[in-house]
Structure 1
Amino acid sequence: MSKTTAGRFFEDYHIGQQIVHAVPRTVSGGERALYHALYPARTALYSSDDFARACGLPQSPVDDLIGFHIVFGKTVPDISLNAVANLGYAEGRFHAPVYPGDSLRSHSEVIGLKQNSNGKSGVVWVRTRGENQRGARVLDYVRWVMVRKRDPDATAPETVVPDLAAVVAPDTLVVPQGLNFSDHDFALSGEPHRWGDYAIGERIDHVDGVTVEEAEHMLATRLWQNTSKVHFDGTRRADGKRLIYGGHVISMARALSFNGLANAHMISAINAGSHANPCFSGDTIRAWSEVLDRAETRAPGVGALRLRLVASKGACDVLKTDDGKYHPDVLLDLDYWVLMPI
């Protein structure tokens, strides 16, 4: 009897299914160093213990997306090993910072299923939560992924499409305990722009671009222990290309947004996200942001800014075509809340 697994296929899921994901991961300073080597991330709060302590935290956390990638990577062998594509995100909340020394683990619940009309695949919705070694929730989110069927003739499950909130309500955003931007040092953070300087509807071109290299993508995907076959095995696609992990695009775009949003320190929530088109080695990622909303928080000196972050492999300021579909150059459309000084 084989001791290996081919992973779950669409017909292996059912509504309410609880999946405990294997292999907890202890975070070290190495994650931060590798993350900053892979992406042009320069946010002061994630770079300096002294800066973080001046903002009321015990030390500098690791970048929020490091926690996201680790929690996400744990889910891949159980959720998306046989994925055609990762389609989107919703209702993401960051509940607590992740510090070096924390050990993260993941758990998912299947909340939606819908077989595709071709009968060869279907969409699976899961709600995933990540916890630290104390059992405290670090983050949770919903994502949906298109998964192949093992047997095209297998009976289709009853369709259940979850009703997801379009936006995480600002009064439910979690501000880390102790966070205080009242004495924020704008000289050290790199830009003078604060929460009140951003107007709803404003668009920001983040100027710079980074060309994706195969070696860096492979290193990043292995770093997060993402085992989805389309990222490693060129035979999994008819064109022979390895698909760039969507999280790699998210982190690259978020890091590029430093230019113009240097004080958008912490990600508090992910309202929605779509990987609009595939990314491959050789594509050059550029990014722009649109301010969607602003909200106050109860924490001293801390405001919340809702942003749309768009990553494109072509011209900036492009999103959709006249027919309402994403422009072929658009790679990512991410709607999220950040915390920044008022």
Structure 2
Amino acid sequence: MSAKTNSGRFFEDFRLGETIRHATPRTVTTGDVALYNGLFAPRFAVQSSDEFARRIGYARAPLDDLLVFHVVFGKTVPDISLNAVANLGYADFRFLKPVYPGATLNAVSEVIGLKENSNRKTGIVYVRSRGFDETGEPVLDYVRWVMVRKRDETAAAPAEQIPELPKAVPASALGLACPRIDRGAYDAALSGSPHRFGDYAAGEKIDHVDGMAVEEAEHQIATRLYQNTARVHFNLFAQTKDRFGKRLVYGGHAISLARALSFNGLGNAFHIAAINGGRHVAPLFAGLTVFAWSEVLETAALPGRDDVGALRLRTIATKDRPCADFPLKNGDDYDPAVILDLDYWVLLPRS
């Protein structure tokens, strides 16, 4: 009977260059949207209103970009990170097509890097994962790296290779998942912010002011919503015996909270076009309150587009630490309150 169950892959099970098709396809419905909205309260008008979205050029309100990511990510977990210690980071992350309720998403991953850790108990697995819709067209493409336990500490490690990854997605590659919009029809009163692309400048820092607590039930419901089965988020029996003694909050939960909080100050940044890099600096646990602030790293015009422009943002999320003084580093180390450091591109309407 045990041969019929899946205990997940351990570090020594991965092979460089292997391709993994993930189960199971997932049709994302308006019910999923409602639950996601109830958990994170994102307020961006394009994803909130069919009518607003249609007026500016979408077929209807698209799925929240991060909901698309979490669903695709969740597909990869049973094959990549069921035995993970922690998800460590992201790079070269691009949204490629607008996704609407009713789309069916599936995922495929390629192992592009492997590195055993010096303790020989764990290793780092690098994968490029792609999400596809029911037509077979790609909607999402990203690299992530994750620390995975070894089944046998004495097992020989796979050949080591660390992939070279771009430091940022170029502006010329942005905007594929955003149709040309009618900027004249973009209603600032309804969107909740008067600030468009030209109102932001490199070097500007924005405290998003609000905080949102993480509840034990909510972070587990959210992770189940994505069919993410990683044991560190659910198995309290096992986690009480681990180093933290409790369940870890899925790292994507912190990203969604920070994104929702960023509406206060970036209310017209309606689309995440790409993620250049991201780091989960420290674990997040239920009972803590997440705050966030952002810095505009650069602004960019998109080739052939006069309807939208791109801001490269660095968003920092903290636990139990308001961000009026923009906490980030203490010397060479991160401030102890920092949990997330995310570098990404967003699109805003031009004036």
Return the TM-score normalized by structure 2: 0.95
Residue in 2 that maps onto 1:123? 124
Q: Deviations over 1:35-72 (max 9, x none)?
A: 11001200000011111111111111010001000000
3-state SS of 1:101 partner: coil
Unaligned runs of 5+ residues in structure 1 are: none
Q: Deviations over 1:14-50 (max 9, x none)?
A: 1101000001000100111111100120000001111
Residue in 1 that maps onto 2:30? 29
Residue in 1 that maps onto 2:299? 294
Contact 1:181 1:300 in 2 (8 A): no
1:255 maps onto 2:260 in alignment: yes
- The separation in 2 between residues aligned to 1:4 and 1:20, in whole angstroms, is 18
Which residue identity does 2:206 align to in structure 1? Answer: I
Residue in 1 that maps onto 2:195? 193
Residue in 2 that maps onto 1:274? 279
- The separation in 1 between residues aligned to 2:48 and 2:12, in whole angstroms, is 45
Which residue identity does 1:161 align to in structure 2? Answer: I
3-state SS of 1:253 partner: helix
Q: 1:325 deviation in Å?
A: 1.9
Residue in 2 that maps onto 1:206? 208
Q: 1:156 deviation in Å?
A: 1.7
1:327 maps onto 2:332 in alignment: no
Q: 1:233 deviation in Å?
A: 1.0
3-state SS of 1:171 partner: helix
Which residue identity does 2:107 align to in structure 1? Answer: S
Q: 1:204 deviation in Å?
A: 0.2
- 1:312-323 maps to which residues of 2 (within 5 A)? 312-313=318-319, 314-316=321-323, 317-322=326-331
Contact 2:95 2:177 in 1 (8 A): no
- 1:166-245 maps to which residues of 2 (within 5 A)? 166-176=167-177, 178-183=179-184, 184-234=186-236, 235-236=238-239, 237-245=242-250
Q: 1:327 deviation in Å?
A: 1.7
Contact 1:166 1:271 in 2 (8 A): yes
3-state SS of 1:135 partner: coil
Q: 1:99 deviation in Å?
A: 0.3
Contact 1:243 1:279 in 2 (8 A): yes
- The separation in 1 between residues aligned to 2:306 and 2:32, in whole angstroms, is 30
1:337 maps onto 2:345 in alignment: yes
- The separation in 1 between residues aligned to 2:213 and 2:178, in whole angstroms, is 38
Q: Deviations over 1:104-156 (max 9, x none)?
A: 00000000000000011100000000000000100010000000000101112
Contact 1:175 1:299 in 2 (8 A): no
Q: 1:181 deviation in Å?
A: 4.2
How many residues get paired? 341
- The separation in 1 between residues aligned to 2:125 and 2:141, in whole angstroms, is 17
Q: CA RMSD in A?
A: 1.0
Contact 1:112 1:125 in 2 (8 A): yes
Which residue identity does 1:275 align to in structure 2? Answer: H
Q: Deviations over 1:67-104 (max 9, x none)?
A: 00000000000000000110000000000111011000
- The separation in 1 between residues aligned to 2:244 and 2:104, in whole angstroms, is 38
Contact 2:312 2:343 in 1 (8 A): yes
Contact 1:293 1:305 in 2 (8 A): yes
3-state SS of 2:256 partner: helix
Q: 1:240 deviation in Å?
A: 2.3
Contact 1:212 1:280 in 2 (8 A): yes
3-state SS of 1:250 partner: helix
Contact 2:232 2:248 in 1 (8 A): yes
3-state SS of 2:224 partner: helix
Q: 1:177 deviation in Å?
A: 5.8
Q: Deviations over 1:269-317 (max 9, x none)?
A: 0000000000001111000000011111223421011101111012411
- The separation in 2 between residues aligned to 1:305 and 1:148, in whole angstroms, is 37
Residue in 2 that maps onto 1:307? 313
Residue in 2 that maps onto 1:60? 61
- The separation in 1 between residues aligned to 2:179 and 2:70, in whole angstroms, is 25
3-state SS of 1:219 partner: helix
Which residue identity does 2:190 align to in structure 1? Answer: L
Unaligned runs of 5+ residues in structure 2 are: none
- The separation in 2 between residues aligned to 1:105 and 1:338, in whole angstroms, is 24
Q: Deviations over 1:144-178 (max 9, x none)?
A: 00000001011122210000000000011133363
Which residue identity does 1:156 align to in structure 2? Answer: A
